Amino acid sequence: MRRFLPLLLVWVLGTGAVLASLARSPWWWTVAVPLLAAACLGGRDLLQRRRPVLRNHPLVGRLRYRPEPAAVRRVPAGAREPSGDGVEVRAVPVGVAHGPDDEYLVSSLRPVEASEEPPSVRVGGPGCTRPYDMALLNVSAMSFGALSARAVLALNRGAELGRFAQDTGEGGLSEHHLRGGGDLVWEIGTGYFGCRDADGGFDAREFADKAALPEVRCVSLKLSQGASPGTGGVLPGVKVSAEIARERKVPAGETVVSPAGHREFATPRELVLFVARLRELAGGKPTGFKLCVGSRQEFLAVCRAMVAEGVAPDFVVVDGSEGGTGAAPAGLAGHLGMRLTEGLITVHNALTGVGLRGGVRIGASGGVATGADIVRRLAQGADYTNAARSMMRALGCVGALRCHTGGCPAGVATQDPLRTRALHVAEGARRVRLHQHETVRDAVRIMAAMGVRDPGGLGPAHLVRRSDTGPARSYAELYEWLAPGELLAGPPRSWEADWKAADPDGFC
For residue range 495-508, list pLDDT tens digits in order.
999 999 999 999 87
> What's the CA gap between 179 and 177, in Å, rounded?
6
Instruction: Give which of 322, 327, 207 is closest to 258, Cα–Cα.
Output: 327
Contact 448, 436 (CB under 8 A): no
> What's the CA gap between 377 and 106, in Å, rounded?
14
Instruction: Give which of 227, 488, 185, 180 is closest to 343, Cα–Cα.
Output: 227
Phi/psi at 135 (5° precision)? -70, 165
Residue 495: count other Cβ atoms within 10 Å of its Cβ: 20
* Average of per-residue pLDDT values in the chain: 86
Kindly give, in sequence order, each residue whose CB lies less than 8 Å from that of residue 497, ignoring residues fewer than 6 positions away: none
**Sheet of 463-465: strands edge to edge?**
103-105, 463-465, 473-474
> What's the CA gap between 204 and 188, in Å, rounded?
12
> What's the CA gap between 194 and 192, in Å, rounded?
6
What is the sign, positive or negative, of the torsion defined by CA atoms of 444, 450, 454, 457?
Answer: negative
> What's the CA gap between 13 and 35, in Å, rounded?
7
Contact 431, 441 (CB under 8 A): no
> What's the CA gap between 120 and 443, in Å, rounded?
12
pLDDT of residue 390: 92
Instruction: Give which of 119, 118, 167 is closest to 139, Cα–Cα.
Output: 167
> What's the CA gap between 467 and 261, in Å, rounded?
40
Q: What SS3 class is residue 186?
A: strand
Each residue's pLDDT expressed in tens, for the chain with a length of 508 residues: 666 777 677 777 778 777 877 788 877 778 777 777 877 877 776 666 676 766 666 666 676 555 444 444 444 433 343 322 222 323 333 333 344 578 999 999 999 999 999 999 999 999 999 999 999 999 999 999 889 999 999 999 999 999 999 999 999 999 999 999 999 999 999 999 999 998 899 999 999 999 999 999 999 999 998 766 767 778 888 888 888 988 898 888 888 888 889 999 999 999 999 999 999 999 999 999 999 999 999 999 999 999 999 999 999 999 988 866 555 555 666 678 899 999 999 999 999 999 999 999 999 998 899 999 999 999 999 999 999 999 999 998 887 777 777 788 888 888 888 888 888 899 999 999 999 999 999 999 999 999 999 999 999 999 999 988 888 999 999 999 999 999 999 999 999 999 999 999 998 7
Q: Is 378 left (phi over 0), alpha (psi -120 to 50) or beta?
A: alpha
What's the pTM? 0.84
DSSP secondary structure string, 28-94? GHHHHHHHHHHHHHHHHHHH-SS-HHHHHSTTTHHHHPPPPPGGGS---TT--S--TTS-------T
Question: To 5 degrees, how large is the angle CA 195–CA 408–CA 97?
Answer: 90
> What's the CA gap between 343 and 333, in Å, rounded?
16
For residue 91, give Cα distances in angstroms to 150, 384, 440. 23, 17, 9
Amino acid type, 482: L
For residue 323, give Cα distances in angstroms to 285, 376, 463. 27, 16, 21
Instruction: Give which of 368, 320, 314 is closest to 139, Cα–Cα.
Output: 368
Phi/psi at 107 (5° precision)? -80, 165
Phi/psi at 330 (5° precision)? -55, 135
Instruction: Give which of 312, 282, 310 is closest to 299, Cα–Cα.
Output: 312
Question: To 5 degrees, how large is the angle CA 416–CA 422–CA 428?
Answer: 115
pLDDT of residue 59: 64
> What's the CA gap between 152 and 180, in Å, rounded?
9
